[in-house]
């Protein structure tokens, strides 16, 4: 595992964000909002906290429970060296390895196929139990969305992880407060999330999901926790692109060329000022 620091730097984050937008533009479809809210978290887990490079002889596990945020995962996999950046132009195209949701049968670097909300954490719990029984030091990371918390299967998995004392499991909730159908509080409130997770027996931290140092610290502490650990990361859907931020319409929507150019310009300006 890489030594802990203050998380990914601003220029790395900008590269990750721009790849998301490039992929969505090329596909004429995709999920930019939830990808942008989570990409910094994915970047820190996969690039900094765990062992996920192709050359790592022993790798940790990563489960993208919110599988629709696949562009964020693909962006980080490019950074890790799993495939060439040019392949992002095939995202969601017929025959592409870059499916709308991650598919481990098609793309190297994808460890778990995900798609249907609510199933990801159950897979992560099973992996954590298996690795503990094997005497392995492999850690299991899962990133969930607000929608995962609407599914009863997620809460069964939360209860199971606590019952089995899975200290090799960390779940991060990308709590951007918006779903495809509008505000999460209107669809089905999940608050108070942190208190509910604690009531299920998890170690819980609540952080600003766009504060790279806070996320990095919380992830490192979660890995060292005694028992399952959860991080409630308060994020903004479409973060980093002003016309997307906080707008549920960008949950699943294509970019046109002008929007793409404007978004890249904002990201470059922010990275240049960092």
Q: Domain ranges in the chain?
A: 10-273
10-273 is classed in which CATH architecture?
Answer: 3-Layer(aba) Sandwich (3.40)
pLDDT digits 0-9 by tens, 160-179: 999 999 999 999 999 999 98
> Is a pLDDT exceeding 70 seen at residue 4?
no
| Burial class, 186, CB count within 10 angstroms (exposed 0-12 / middle 13-18 / buried 19+) | exposed
Task: Locate 262 and state its tokens.
Answer: 């404007």
- Averaged over 113-117, what is the pLDDT? 91
pTM: 0.96
pLDDT digits 0-9 by tens, 226-266: 999 999 999 999 999 999 999 999 999 999 999 999 999 99
Q: Are 187 and 181 in contact (CB under 8 A)?
A: yes
DSSP 139: -
pLDDT digits 0-9 by tens, 52-94: 999 999 999 999 999 999 999 999 999 999 999 999 999 999 9
Average pLDDT for the chain: 96
Give CB contacts under 8 A, 24+ apart, made by 183-191. Answer: 183/248, 184/146, 184/147, 187/150, 188/150, 190/146, 190/149, 190/150
Q: How would residue 6 be classed by pLDDT, with cut points 50, 70 and 90? A: confident
């Amino acid at each position: 595992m890489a030594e802990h620091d203050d998380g990914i730097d601003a220029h790395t984050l900008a590269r990750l964000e721009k790849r998301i937008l490039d992929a969505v533009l090329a596909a004429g479809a995709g999920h930019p909002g939830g990808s942008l809210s989570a990409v910094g978290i994915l970047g820190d887990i996969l690039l900094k906290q765990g062992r996920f490079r192709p050359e790592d002889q022993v790798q940790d596990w990563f489960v993208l429970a919110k599988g629709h945020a696949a562009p964020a995962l693909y962006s980080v996999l490019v950074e890790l060296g799993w495939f060439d950046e040019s392949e992002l132009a095939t995202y969601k195209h017929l025959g592409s390895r870059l499916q709308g949701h991650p598919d481990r049968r098609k793309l190297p670097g994808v460890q778990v196929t995900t798609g249907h909300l609510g199933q990801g954490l159950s897979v992560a719990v099973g992996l954590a139990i298996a690795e503990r029984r094997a005497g392995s030091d492999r850690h299991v990371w899962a990133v969930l969305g607000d929608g995962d918390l609407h599914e009863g299967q997620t809460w069964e998995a939360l209860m199971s992880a606590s019952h089995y004392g899975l200290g090799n499991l960390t779940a991060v909730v990308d709590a951007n407060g918006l779903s495809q159908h509008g505000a999460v509080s209107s669809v089905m409130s999940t608050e108070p999330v942190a208190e509910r997770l604690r009531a299920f027996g998890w170690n819980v931290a609540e952080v600003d999901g766009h504060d790279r140092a806070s996320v990095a610290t919380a992830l490192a502490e979660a890995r060292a926790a005694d028992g399952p650990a959860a991080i409630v990361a308060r994020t903004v859907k479409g973060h980093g692109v002003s016309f997307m931020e906080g707008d549920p319409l960008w949950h699943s929507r294509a970019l046109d060329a002008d929007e793409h150019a404007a978004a890249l310009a904002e990201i470059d300006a922010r990275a240049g000022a960092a």
